[in-house]
Amino acid sequence: MTRGGRRTEGDEGSERRCIVTRETQPKEGLIRFVVGPDGQIAPDVLEKLPGRGIWVAADRGAIEKAVAKNLFARAAKQPVTVPPDLVDRVEAALVRRLTDLIALKRKAGEAVAGFEKVKDWLAAGNVAVLLQATDGSERGKTKLWTPTGARYFSVLTARELGLAFGRQSVIHGALAAGGLSPRVVEGAAKLRGLRKADGGKPAGKDERNA
């Protein structure tokens, strides 16, 4: 709430309504968009840009439908310009956000990469999030397991995981609990919704438990 008593968007709680499904759900499952000064729709994955937020489910099909049916203009109550590559821009922004978060975990000593290091962390019970490249060998990936209560995601390519760990490519990565791990989980879940394969199934595996 501002000094004058006017409520701001942040005062309205942690749930928002998707303009496509019309369902209210936690912000963790939604992507925020805003209308820029030039009248163009822009994704706001950090949820920090000024302006009234327009929320869409973190799902490729939902964003494509919002574009096709001109729902952004309806929600904004004004004419807007929608970039033809909006979905790709959202995906790219989510990739940058996710790799940045993993890099911060690595710099804090709360992340490791490489099969043997991840395996050692698993044996020691240090893994809260297991990350594996979408284009890695399935045989190699099945040799590692997800501890009970931990999370598993395969949403980044080996090159993208490599960027997060300061290497050319990475197939296996692991994060310790605490710190930015919840944000990594949230970001990975959103990216998974943008990287759906044919049939509506996420590209790569979902969560798995031992």
Of 128-137, 143-152, 193-202, the poorest mean pLDDT is in 193-202
Q: What percent of the chain has pLDDT over 70?
A: 87
Q: What is the architecture, at CATH level 2, of domain 89-194?
A: 2-Layer Sandwich (3.30)
Q: Are strands 129-132 and 151-153 parallel, antiparallel or unpaired?
A: parallel
What is the per-residue pLDDT for 145?
Answer: 95
Q: What percent of the chain has pLDDT over 90?
A: 84
pLDDT reading at 150 higher than 80: yes
What is the per-residue pLDDT for 194?
Answer: 94
Dump pLDDT digits (tens) for 40-51.
Answer: 999 999 999 999
Q: How many CB atoms lie within 10 A of CB 109?
A: 8
The dotted CATH code for 9-84 is 3.30.1230.10
Distance separating alpha carbons of residues 189 and 191, to the nearest angstrom: 5
Per-residue confidence at 140, pLDDT binned at 50, 70, 90? confident
Per-residue confidence at 196, pLDDT binned at 50, 70, 90? confident
* Average pLDDT value for the chain: 89
Among 25, 23, 22, 1, which residue's Cα sits nearest to residue 11?
Answer: 1
Q: Is the dihedral of CA 38, 43, 46, 47 positive or negative?
A: positive
Mean pLDDT of 52-59: 97
Domain ranges of the chain: 9-84, 89-194
